[in-house]
Each structure stands twice: as structure tokens, then as C-alpha cells.
Amino acid sequence: MNQLGDGRPPDRPRFTEKQGQYLAFIRIYGLLNDRAPAERDMQRFFGVTAPSVHQMVLALERAGLIRRQPSLAHSIELLVKPDILPRLQPIEPVIAVISGAPTANDRTGNDYQRVGCRSQC
């Protein structure tokens, strides 16, 4: 884990903004569901690909911010104090062109459908 020479954890978190959002999600998900999220849960929330989530999980593990058991879903454990985590920010819904979908039209006549939205959009 990230520690100073005297064994105390650093005052400032040692993670990027994006990593902080993943850590905050892991914490909140665990509080709400009484278990850690699977990588698929993070993929749905952040609207990213499975390889992107897996690479982030590996990066968080290498940085000493989480611990997990490979090949075991819901095994992620936070190794940082909750009080240094950022507030989980809402994710903007992603708009994708879906051919033939019964959705709202833009001025060009393309059909759009909201995807990646976590609740009611």
C-alpha cells in the first residue's frame, strides 16, 4: 500500500481522478449490495468495454489500492480509507445511433437511443 517512510499512509490520495471514480463505485456498490461489484457491474455503470474495466482493475491492484482473487467475481477489496475517496459522479448517458430503432429523431433523420444510462434517463 502507498505509505510514507514512517509507515503512515500519505495525506493525499495517490490515484487519478478516473481511478478515484472506480474506487468510489466499488465502495458505494459494496454498501448498497453487501458485496463487491463484479467487473461487469463496473462495465455497465461506466459504459466502457470489458477490457477497459479489466485493465483498470489490474492498475488499481498494481497500485495497491485494491486486492482481489483472480477469476472470482465479487472479490474486490478496497485497501484505501473511505474518507479519502472522491464523491461518485453521475455518468452522462451515451447516445448511440441505432439503425431501425423506434426512438427520437434528430434534425438529420438519424435514429438515436440512449445507452449507458444507469436509471431513468
Show pLDDT as tens, one digit a residue, over the chain (121 residues). Answer: 444 455 555 556 689 999 999 999 999 999 999 999 999 999 999 999 999 999 999 999 999 999 999 888 899 999 999 999 999 998 876 555 555 555 554 445 544 445 554 544 4
Give the model's pLDDT for residue 112: 46
| CB contact burial 85-121 (16+ within 10 A = b; e otherwise) | beebeeeeeebeeeeeeeeeeeeeeeeebeebeeeee
**DSSP summary character for residue 82:** G
Q: Which grid cell sits at 99?
A: 439503425
Q: Helix or strand or coil: residue 65?
A: coil
Residue closest to 30 by CA, chosen among 80, 70, 64, 91: 80
Q: CA 2, CA 53: separation in Å to the nearest integer?
A: 22
**DSSP summary character for residue 94:** E
Residue 2, amino acid: N
Distance of CA 92 to the CA centre of its chain: 13
Task: Specify the pTM.
Answer: 0.68
Q: CA 21, CA 8: separation in Å to the nearest integer?
A: 24
Give the model's pLDDT for residue 71: 87
Residue 112 phi/psi, 5-degree rounding, is: -125, 150
Q: Which grid cell sits at 109?
A: 433523420
